[in-house]
Structure 1
Amino acid sequence: MSLQAKPQQVEAVMFFRAGAICKEMHLAEFEAVLDGVVSLVDFADQQIPAAYVLITPRLHIRAVAFFLIDFDETGRADTGWNIPLRHLAEQGAPGPDLGGGAIRIACRSRCPVAWHQMHLWDPSLKPGRNELLLLRDAARRNNLGILADEELPAKSETGNRVAPEVAKSMAKRLARTMDLQHRHKTAQLIRQQRLRLQSLTQQYEEQFARLRLEAEQREKALLEQFETQQQVLARQEQLNVDLKVQQQSQADQFQQAREDFVQQLRSAERDGRSETELLRDQFELEMQARIAAVVAEQQQRLAALQAELEAHREREVRQQAEVERLRQNQLRGIERLAGLGVMFVVYHPGTGHLTIPLAEIGRYQDDPEAFVAAKCLVSPEHYRDWLAHYQQPTCSARLPSGERCAMPIDRIDTPSRFVRGESSCCARHQAKVRAARAAG
């Protein structure tokens, strides 16, 4: 007498490549891969997306955990890989109905254990490439040879007549059943759409963070280059000034030499008029030649400096254009997020959680403090004074010794109710401030 084995839930691992399932194995086989007993040469030197799947005897999926695993050049799994797949799948968030009731799902955007999030990935739920449906179809094909529990055939209905009251009651029960099924399917569809939206939001937030970091790094590098060019330009301008001073000094020296030579000529006139004229002509020729050489040299230096200055200006224009291009790319990324329904919320004292419209993102980035001050209907200076009071609600008045009074006072939570120079003082100093205003 033989006993038939009772079907049980099966744990399996399925690997993805190019949007399709390329390999399936039981969990025991996967554990052999992790132990280094078996190598997967097809996955050598790659990071492979995979899914841990819990399959029922009816070949329905009950839970899924989407994870990433690295393989070395020989196809051996990462020896440091250690993720509790069963725990993640059991603690996963409610997911869609894949034929056997709502499943539980663990992925990057729905990770029950935060420190494992970086080792998970989000499945695609796009029509035509729904990776959850790929898992469902793979489970139904049963390539793993799971011992399935055959469903009993439905009993045929008899052709006996039923009373009208019984038929009416049966119709009501059938209507209630269909309504419950419709509600159940609707709830499953809503959960599936929420999962897809959350997954897309996570992807676009990561993409936006990478773009923002890249833009900040590029902008920082461009600003550093700009500051370097400014310093070079300042040095060139100082060199130009020094050259002009040197030119003036040389001209003064030539003038002094000319005056000295004139004196020598006057003293030599006693020796003969013709010799004096000859020396004077020679002196004039030498002076003109020297001055012409100095002027030509200075003009060459000035031309070189002007050319370098023009090159600096052109580089500055290109850098500003690059900064503007990065800003536009960042704005386009923000527009894509806004099109997906992502809202930008920041927190600032005085306004609490503030939702920033897409059209005002640039203005907020340029000067967050001025942006928040405008939302509070106060000036930026007013908001800064109020913020200092809000963070340290003590008297800011100065004692005769020069020290701060620092007596605790009531905090004013609203910037528009804050009176500069008065609300940040204790009662004694407020009275002095009011008396001084009245006297003025």
Structure 2
Amino acid sequence: MSMQNKPQMVEAVMFFSERGGICKEMLFPEFEALLDGVVNMPEFADQQMRVAFVLINPRLLIKSAVFFYLDFDENGAPDTGWNIPLQHLAERAGRGPDLGAGPIRLACRSQCPVSWHQMHLWDPSLAPGQNDLVLLRDVVKRNLLGLLIEDDASQALAPERLQMASEDKWYAADPAQESADKAAEQAAEKVDQEQRQKAAQLIKQQRLRIASLSQQHEEELAKLKLLNDEQSKNLQAQIHGLHQALRQQEELNSSLKAQLAAQAASIQTSREEMTEQLRTLERQGRSESDLVRAQLESELQAKIASAVVEYKEQIAIRDVELAYRKEQDSQLLQEIERLKRERNELAGQSGDQILERLAKLGVVFVVYHPGAGHLTIALQDIARYQDNPMAYVSAKCFVSEEQYRQWLGHYQQPSCEAKLPSGERCAIPIDRIDTPSRFTLGDSNCCARHKASSRLRTVS
């Protein structure tokens, strides 16, 4: 008999998107694997996500909830320094709204059992139509995580747990009246108890919402106060800078005024001195102009004499350079004449004379051709070989020049040269004929099939 899996309490983690919905659900072991770096979440890269840790009973009802922040780096890996004890906070948290299984245990920024973790938590929205707790309740009910559910039949009391009243109380003196009174009393107590529970739950929810709004208002007030202080400091700094600039400008203006007064006095003094000098110059002008003119003429004559001497020296240097170049030109002309004579002497020696001189020195002229091998060419046959090397070689092989050319094509590429009906060459590899005299056109350059057909055509 195999053991069946029984429904039990389950820990899960829900990720809230910026638009307000839930974009990711996972079981707590998957969340631990994410924290351990086993997997990453690239879709959350470089974001601070709002996350909720929930404890779910077998009837898909939430028992506890912890709302916290989780930062991801640019690769989608969670913050390595994150260390919030979610299970501990869920156990120690205060009461919250009833989501179907009695008041839940709720840990958030405005209701945190451990004060130093408060800054890492966030308050869920409880506004109508945007209630994050109702959103969590509905998502858990959809059971996208595939949790095991406890049947409603199992909620019924087992027979052994039922208590039976004593036999003398089975019948009442007035059964109808007593049962009616008891039913009315129980109904009134039940209605009263439900009203009290609803009122207590509503008060608790309103208190939580008031605490959340108070926390938000305090944070906004602190931010505004900090912004106001910074703006005040900036304005004070600007005012101080403007005062200092104004003081410096005033000092600069006074300094400039003093400088202008001093310059005006100096200009007046200079004007008076210049007027006196002009008068003096007018008296001495004629005599001084004559002296200056004479001095300028003497200086001009001296400069002209110096320039003439300098140009004469440059002309002498150019004459020496011209004489040196003439000598070089005559040497170059002599060298050109010598080279012309050597060229004419070399041109007078013909090619035949050069070959005869090489033959007398023991030089032998050897060439290689396929089919003939290495041939030694006599001096008297060199001209004939140069005119037609192919005819010379075919004569050495005792065949005609045409047969040697045909054999040479077969030797370089031994394949069947017969034409197929399609017009293409047969090109089947055949045995190579090494000697030109043994080569027969139409037989040596064909495969066995085309040799036979050639013979048949010949016989017919």
The alignment's TM-score, normalised by the length of structure 2, stands at 0.52
Deviation at residue 94 of structure 1 after TM alignment: 1.2
Indicate the residue corresponding to 1:216 in structure 2: 229
Of residues 173, 176, 186, the one that matches 1:163 is: 176
Q: Return the index of the structure with the highest Cα Rg.
A: 2
- Paired with 1:109 and 1:95, the residues of 2 have a C-alpha distance of 12
Indicate the residue corresponding to 1:14 in structure 2: 14
Q: Secondary structure at the match of 2:67?
A: strand
Cα shift readout 1:75-106 (whole Å, capped 9, x = no counterpart): 22222221100011111121111111011111
Deviation at residue 16 of structure 1 after TM alignment: 0.8
Of residues 210, 214, 223, the one that matches 1:197 is: 210
Q: Secondary structure at the match of 1:48?
A: strand
Confirm whether residue 40 of structure 1 aligns to residue 25 of structure 2. no
- Paired with 1:132 and 1:190, the residues of 2 have a C-alpha distance of 16
- Paired with 2:139 and 2:271, the residues of 1 have a C-alpha distance of 104
Q: What aligned pairs does 1:31-430 form with structure 2 within 5 A after superposition?
A: 31-152=32-153, 163-251=176-264
Indicate the residue corresponding to 1:372 in structure 2: none
Deviation at residue 243 of structure 1 after TM alignment: 2.6
- Paired with 2:10 and 2:265, the residues of 1 have a C-alpha distance of 101
- Paired with 1:105 and 1:99, the residues of 2 have a C-alpha distance of 14
Cα shift readout 1:86-142 (whole Å, capped 9, x = no counterpart): 011111121111111011111112121122122211111111110101111122222
- Paired with 1:222 and 1:197, the residues of 2 have a C-alpha distance of 36
- Paired with 1:260 and 1:10, the residues of 2 have a C-alpha distance of 109
Q: Secondary structure at the match of 1:129?
A: coil
Judging changes above 3 Å, is the alpha-carbon distance between structure 1 residues 7 and 154 closer, same or farther for their aligned structure 2 residues? Answer: closer
Cα shift readout 1:251-300 (whole Å, capped 9, x = no counterpart): 555677899999x89xx9xx9xxx9xxxxxxxxxxxxxxxxxxxxxxxxx
Cα shift readout 1:281-329 (whole Å, capped 9, x = no counterpart): xxxxxxxxxxxxxxxxxxxxxxxxxxxxxxxxxxxxxxxxxxxxxxxxx
Deviation at residue 23 of structure 1 after TM alignment: 1.4
Q: Secondary structure at the match of 1:51?
A: strand
Judging changes above 3 Å, is the alpha-carbon distance between structure 1 residues 37 and 259 closer, same or farther for their aligned structure 2 residues? Answer: closer
The residue type equivalent to 1:9 in the other structure is M
Deviation at residue 54 of structure 1 after TM alignment: 0.5
- Paired with 2:261 and 2:33, the residues of 1 have a C-alpha distance of 88
The higher relative CO (CA closer than 8 Å, separation ≥ 6) is in: 1
The residue type equivalent to 2:86 in the other structure is L
Judging changes above 3 Å, is the alpha-carbon distance between structure 1 residues 254 and 142 closer, same or farther for their aligned structure 2 residues? Answer: closer
The alignment's TM-score, normalised by the length of structure 1, stands at 0.55
- Paired with 1:233 and 1:249, the residues of 2 have a C-alpha distance of 24
Unaligned runs of 5+ in 2: 158-173, 284-460
- Paired with 1:71 and 1:118, the residues of 2 have a C-alpha distance of 17
Judging changes above 3 Å, is the alpha-carbon distance between structure 1 residues 138 and 258 closer, same or farther for their aligned structure 2 residues? Answer: closer
- Paired with 1:41 and 1:235, the residues of 2 have a C-alpha distance of 58
The residue type equivalent to 1:171 in the other structure is A
Cα shift readout 1:176-199 (whole Å, capped 9, x = no counterpart): 111111111111111111111211
- Paired with 1:229 and 1:21, the residues of 2 have a C-alpha distance of 54
Unaligned runs of 5+ in 1: 156-160, 276-440
Question: What is the aligned-residue identity percentage?
Answer: 55
The residue type equivalent to 2:238 in the other structure is Q
The residue type equivalent to 1:208 in the other structure is L
Deviation at residue 4 of structure 1 after TM alignment: 3.8
- Paired with 2:46 and 2:259, the residues of 1 have a C-alpha distance of 67
- Paired with 2:30 and 2:259, the residues of 1 have a C-alpha distance of 86
Cα shift readout 1:149-173 (whole Å, capped 9, x = no counterpart): 2223889xxxxx9512221121111
Q: Secondary structure at the match of 2:40?
A: coil
Judging changes above 3 Å, is the alpha-carbon distance between structure 1 residues 258 and 19 closer, same or farther for their aligned structure 2 residues? Answer: closer
- Paired with 2:30 and 2:272, the residues of 1 have a C-alpha distance of 105
- Paired with 1:6 and 1:250, the residues of 2 have a C-alpha distance of 106
The residue type equivalent to 1:94 in the other structure is R
Cα shift readout 1:323-364 (whole Å, capped 9, x = no counterpart): xxxxxxxxxxxxxxxxxxxxxxxxxxxxxxxxxxxxxxxxxx
Deviation at residue 144 of structure 1 after TM alignment: 1.7
Cα RMSD for the two superposed structures: 2.9
The residue type equivalent to 1:12 in the other structure is A
- Paired with 1:246 and 1:27, the residues of 2 have a C-alpha distance of 83
Cα shift readout 1:363-388 (whole Å, capped 9, x = no counterpart): xxxxxxxxxxxxxxxxxxxxxxxxxx
Cα shift readout 1:386-434 (whole Å, capped 9, x = no counterpart): xxxxxxxxxxxxxxxxxxxxxxxxxxxxxxxxxxxxxxxxxxxxxxxxx
The residue type equivalent to 1:7 in the other structure is P
The residue type equivalent to 1:226 in the other structure is I
Deviation at residue 145 of structure 1 after TM alignment: 1.9
Deviation at residue 250 of structure 1 after TM alignment: 4.5
- Paired with 1:257 and 1:81, the residues of 2 have a C-alpha distance of 84
Deviation at residue 215 of structure 1 after TM alignment: 2.0
- Paired with 2:5 and 2:261, the residues of 1 have a C-alpha distance of 109
- Paired with 2:134 and 2:15, the residues of 1 have a C-alpha distance of 14
Q: Secondary structure at the match of 1:223?
A: helix
- Paired with 1:47 and 1:132, the residues of 2 have a C-alpha distance of 20
